[in-house]
Amino acid sequence: MQQDAFITEGAGAFPFEIRYEGGDAEVHRIDMAALAESLDGFSRIYAVVAHFATTGQYAKQTQALNAKAYAQETQAKCFSVAGAVEWATTNGVFQGLGGVILTLVLNHVYQSCSGAKEEMKHLRELFEKQLGFNQQYVERLLNTIEKLTDAMQPSARKSVAPIGDTCDRIDLYSMAGKQTTIGLAEKEAIMASEPSQILPAKKYSVIISEMDRLKRTCKASFTEHDTEELVDEDGSPKRISCDITDPVASLEDNPYLQGFISGKPISVVAKAMLRNGVIVKLYISDVG
């Protein structure tokens, strides 16, 4: 990670970088409308989370926020925006921990919106250590984070607008390195009207029965299933929609197309979207 991508860190500042990867961003450009919507979302999320990280409070109104997010010009790589969150004061309880808490809460916002909450465990451990295991105060802070996260969903939806349109994913960086990656799977979970969960990438054996090579989408069924919910009414294996993010799928001769033509099972590496305990979509990144 190039250090010149960041605004110089000073007292009361948290440098960050938003990287838009793939798609139009590969040639250092991006759709302006999507970028404007994305930065509007990120601006509010960074400012609101930084306000909590430095005060322990959640404020809804911009005028009440202790922090503000800034952007500056950066070197052309993919397409990236460098910036910093600056704040006026820091709560004594969080003295020296603003950046750490900001990072954990920011990751929690995106994990929670896409159906995962791993960061909450780390936040609990940090608060318990810092607050001398004052459980009442710890629970109050965690409840505040949950309220903040729920309120940030509209901004999270805005921030991921370019994914799948003018870029393939968004990577968030701090001075410590990459914080989180938001891809198409996470975007669709964030945008879903029903609660969804994205499972970690793993291998699946599937049979592709329909494919669009240009759009890199397909429909597939699992070769193994252990629940009636994965079977259609006629008893045939239930087909689910798949997005193929593996760039190999755009080539004329590729393993996905070969699998579709042959009708034989292929092993793929994918993230699965889970809804009501059932896999409803796969985001395929590679052949296994």
Percent of the chain at pLDDT > 90 equals 39
Q: Which of 191, 222, 240 is at the close of a domain?
A: 191
Q: Which of 163, 191, 219 is at the close of a domain?
A: 191
Q: Would you say 48 and 59 are in contact if contact means Cβ atoms under 8 Å apart?
A: yes
Supply the CATH number for residue 256's domain. Answer: 2.40.50
Report pLDDT digits (tens) over 248-266: 998 888 999 999 999 999 9
* Domain boundaries, position 272: 199-287
**What is the arithmetic mean of pLDDT over 83-89?**
83
- Residue 5: C-alpha distances to residues 19, 71, 80 (Å): 10, 11, 9
- 126 plus 75 within the same structural domain: yes
In which band, very low, low, confident or very high, does the pLDDT at 214 lie, cut at 50, 70 and 90?
A: confident
Q: Would you say 217 and 240 are in contact if contact means Cβ atoms under 8 Å apart?
A: no
Q: Would you say 173 and 19 are in contact if contact means Cβ atoms under 8 Å apart?
A: yes
Provide the number of structural domains found in the chain: 2
**What is the arithmetic mean of pLDDT over 213-234?**
75
Averaged pLDDT of the chain: 84
Full-model pTM? 0.77
Structure confidence at residue 86 (pLDDT): 87
Q: Specify the higher pLDDT residue, 171 or 195.
A: 171
Report pLDDT digits (tens) over 11-57: 467 899 999 999 899 888 899 999 999 999 999 999 999 999 888 88
Structure confidence at residue 259 (pLDDT): 95
- 151 plus 216 within the same structural domain: no
pLDDT at 134 over 60: yes
CB atoms within 10 A of CB 136: 8
- 98 plus 224 within the same structural domain: no
Report pLDDT digits (tens) over 145-156: 889 988 999 999
In which band, very low, low, confident or very high, does the pLDDT at 5 lie, cut at 50, 70 and 90?
A: very low
